[in-house]
Copies of this chain bind each other. A is one copy, B any other.
Amino acid sequence: MKTEVIIIGGGPAGIIAALTAKSVYAQKSVCLVKEIGDGVIPCAIPYMMHTISDPKQNAMGNLPLENAGVDIVVGKVISFNPLAHSVTLETGQVLYYERLILATGTEPVLPPISGIEKEGVFTIRKSMATAVALRDQIHKAKRIAIVGGGFIGAEFADELCQRAEAEIHIIEIMPKLLQSAFDDEFCDRIYEALNKAGTKVHTGSRVVSIEGNKQVESVILDNGEKISADMVLVSIGAKPASKLAQEAGLRLVENGSIWVDEYMRTDTEDVFAIGDCAVKRDFFTRKAAPIWLASTATAEARNAGTNIYGIRVLHQIQGTIAAFSTKIGGISFASAGMTCRSCAKEGFRYVTATAVAPDRHPGVLPGAKQLKVKLVFADRSGIILGGQISGGPSVGELINMIALAIQTQVSVRELDMMQIATHPMLTPAPTVHPMVNAAHQALAKFRAEVVAPGSSKKVA
């Protein structure tokens, strides 16, 4: 069977690549091959446990693909041959392509913890069947230990706390929760929020073994502490699913991810890779950055889907800006770009400022929450490097304003003088909006240096 564009992988990257390719090249046949027939919206898996009453409501439907005229094949690809331009499925079926897009995602890796093979240890997989099985187990469990305090672990903990009968523990090896995305003051706030919601948080702790006979009974931490648990949820350890690519001779780089150029082209003719299986580079340093986000994946998918038959849009994927948002203990948190922590680590000199205001005005309006914005700017140029926010639900789109500012390399001066829309029910007051105020305060720090005796630095 000859199809002109084949996409392997049915996650967000694969779907958007297929839709984009079909919309840009309407005359081409586009086929998406996916292993999981009953996929779910991945970011909402934590909320399938309690919040979404019927987990079926989180199904990733085929309708948009079908409506667009994308063919769908459910099956496991066992190999592809770049010379023959062919893809072979487990069933023996062979498909031929003009262009191939790999969107194979990541696969979970179990950390080498003694006892990790026991019954009651779960990883998070992206099919409806596995999610429903996980939900059933969670509804029965009395004590759950979550290994890994990143976004997924924290979101699961927050969700699982809803069931008052369950005792929830989260164990994170680093000193702070989510410290790759946030500076200490935000990490501490997340810790408090989780704690207050009822999760027992163990930071700076490593799980050394999982105890029990056949079935999990407890986990042992490196400080000797023993946590009783009848269920363990492992939310660390994933790696790019690049075996197919490797066997086909494609160039792999850091973490086994597939090397791609800035238009998502692999080193092999007519083969593209997007999403979690493709190498992610940091926007500022261009270093490999194992940051796997559906939103970054879909941006790559739109790029690849547009450019498969020649570069048509000169917008390079210049690296991930690591734009995250989440909600923990009823508080929304978000981050994009560099933190002070990552600046220090990477040797970036920075100027930072934080501003706080109620997210409605006056702050007595019903539903008002404190909105906190921290911005980080490059020391000399004043170009924005990153931002972190906490507050109410408006955080979810406010971080996207910061994301846009980072991607368009806006300066502290532009943000300081920016016109924004404000409304009593929807935003902070125009006089105190923390987005503008943080920029204004940062600018004052640049200015302070200007007027300092002996300084020749100018801000204009």
Chain A interface residues toward B at CB < 8 A: 12, 15-16, 20, 23-24, 41, 43-44, 47, 51-52, 54, 57-58, 293-299, 302-303, 311-315, 317, 320-321, 323-327, 332, 334, 336, 361-362, 364-366, 393-401, 403-405, 407-408, 410, 413-414, 416-427, 429-431, 433, 435-436, 440, 443-444, 447, 459-460
Which listed residue (B313, B362, B401, B460) contacts A58, Cβ 8 A?
B362
Of the listed residues A326, A362, A418, A423, the one surrounded by the most CB atoms of chain B closer than 10 A to its CB is A423
Select one of B297, B321, B401 contacting A397, CB under 8 A: B401
CA distance A15 to B416 in the complex (A): 16
The chain B residue sitting closest to A431, CB to CB, is B12
* Cβ-defined contact, B430 with A47, below 8 A: no
11 contacts between A and B (CB under 8 A): A41-B362, A52-B365, A294-B430, A296-B419, A298-B436, A315-B417, A327-B425, A397-B397, A400-B421, A401-B404, A403-B421
B325 touching A397, Cβ below 8 Å = no
Structural contact, B410 and A404, CB atoms closer than 8 A: yes
Hey, which chain B residues are within 8 Å of A421, CB to CB?
A: 293, 295, 323-325, 334, 336, 396, 399-400, 403
* Top 5 A-B pairs, shortest CB-CB distance: A396-B426, A323-B421, A295-B430, A44-B424, A397-B398
Chain B residues with Cβ below 8 Å from A447 are 24, 312
With both chains docked as a complex, state the minimum distance between the C-beta of A114 and any C-beta of chain B, in angstroms. Answer: 35
B417 touches A317 (CB 8 A): yes
Knowing A302-B440, A400-B398, say if A408 contacts B410 (CB, 8 Å): yes
Contact A51 B365 (CB under 8 A): yes
Complex CA distance for A252 and B198, rounded to whole angstroms: 63
Residues of B within 8 A of A44 (CB): 361-362, 365, 424
Give the CA-CA distance A362 to B42 in the complex, in Å: 10
B426 pairs with A302, CB closer than 8 A: no
The answer for the CA separation of A323 and B324 in the assembled complex, in Å, is 26
Determine which of B293, B401, B419 lies in contact with A299 in the assembled complex, contact meaning CB atoms within 8 Å. B419
Q: Copy number of this protein in the oligomer?
A: 2
Q: Closest residue to A317 on the B side, CB-wise?
A: B417
A419 neighbours in B (Cβ, 8 Å)? 293, 295-296, 299, 320-321, 323, 403, 407
User: Considering the chains assembled together, what is the distance between the CA atoms of A421 and B336 in angstroms?
Assistant: 8
Q: Across the interface, which residues of B come within 8 angstroms of A396, CB to CB?
A: 394, 397, 421-423, 425-427
By beta carbon, the residue of chain B nearest A412 is B313
Known A-B contacts A41-B362, A430-B295; the reply to A416 vs B313 at CB < 8 A is yes
| Separation of A247 and B12 alpha carbons in the complex (Å) | 65
Contact between B417 and A47, CB atoms less than 8 A apart: no
Judging by beta carbons under 8 Å apart, are B302 and A430 in contact?
no
Q: Closest Cβ of chain B: how far from A178's Cβ, in Å?
A: 13
Cβ-defined contact, B431 with A294, below 8 A:
yes
- Contact A364 to B52, CB < 8 A, known contacts A23-B444, A393-B393, A397-B427: yes
Assembly CA distance A418 to B423 (angstroms) = 27
- The answer to whether B294 and A57 touch across the interface, beta carbons within 8 angstroms, is no
Question: A426 to B323, alpha carbons, bound, how many Å?
Answer: 13
In the assembled complex, which residues on chain B have CB atoms less than 8 Å from the CB atom of A443?
313
CB distance from A401 to the nearest CB of B (A): 4
Question: CA A324 – CA B421 in complex, angstroms?
Answer: 5
User: Shortest beta-carbon distance, A11 to chain B, in Å?
Assistant: 9
CA distance A434 to B15 in the complex (A): 16
Docked-complex contact A303 and B417, CB < 8 angstroms: yes
Query: How many whole Å from A129's CB to the nearest CB in chain B?
Result: 18
Let me know if A400 and B435 touch, CB within 8 A: yes
Task: Please give, as numbers and ranges, the residues of chain B lying within 8 Å of A296 by CB-CB distance.
Answer: 419
Query: Which of B320, B403, B430 touches A418 (beta carbons < 8 Å)?
Result: B403
